[in-house]
Amino acid sequence: MIGQIRPVVLSLALLLAASPCHAITGSRSAPSEAVARSIVTVVGAGGVVCTGAMIAPRVVLTAAHCLGAGVTTRVVDYSSKPPQLLITQKALAHPQYNAQAIAAHRATADIALLLLASPVPGKSPVSLGTPRLPIAPGTNFTVAGIGSSSPSGSDAGVARAAHLVVIGRPGTLQIRLADPLTQNKSAGMGGCTGDSGAPVFEDQDGQSLVTGVVSWSTGPNFSDGCGGVTGVTPLTLYLGWIVTTARSLGATF
């Protein structure tokens, strides 16, 4: 059954002790330095952890389902010793986001922006785009997040990358990705616990652009867990809102 990625819940002590290195577990390549520098750890109430991407010096793109009503969302600054939690000034979900749709495993505008008081040291923005159309099965995308290498979530906090391909019937509301070697038939690479909100990159004319956000994952053959299908909310319908809202928050592109 298709399911929303379970946001990993960690003790703050464990999370803040995690190394922000670029080691890879269960994947065949690390994110590029530019991609790794853009990825941040997003923390909600009770230590719920998601992934985000810097799209401007003080603006983070993540998934709307990572936000909690009345909850202050924070971002981890690993540059300080010990790491610190940076409080966001604003957390804005896309106005068309529907939490009930996510709960029912339907496509929705699972997009949110976080405004920080100051840039995260050591981090730099990545560029935005939309997937090339038409999106065809077999098209390559790369998911980069801080999620766990297994559903337990015990090793979240490390930047990992997975090169995946489109399967099924992609559209402007949702894209499904799988490991090209396993094709959802057996365990392979893909989004896992803590990768909610992770940026999804497509190489276009020699540039790596964020063209989607991770919303959910499954185990092989649509079972519970990870390593099967990674569900993506493409930016096709939402890029205008992202750019306009980010600029209203003071971002420049």
For 107-169, list the strands marked E by DSSP: 112-116, 140-145, 160-167
How many CA atoms within 13 Å lie on the side-chain side of 111? 27
| Short-list 4, 2, 37, 17, CA closest to 156 | 17
Q: What is the pTM assigned to this prediction?
A: 0.89
CATH number of the domain where residue 126 is located: 2.40.10.10
Q: Among positive and negative, which fits the CA dihedral 234, 237, 240, 245?
A: negative
Model pLDDT, residue 46: 67
Q: Among positive and negative, which fits the CA dihedral 207, 144, 112, 101?
A: positive
pLDDT < 70 regions, the chain: 1-30, 45-46, 70, 151-154
- Spatial contact of 243 and 253, defined as CB atoms under 8 Å apart: yes
Model pLDDT, residue 29: 57
- Spatial contact of 232 and 195, defined as CB atoms under 8 Å apart: no
Q: How many domains does the chain have?
A: 1
- The whole domain housing 220 covers 1-253
**Residue 138 exposed, middle or buried by CB count within 10 Å (0-12, 13-18, 19+):** exposed
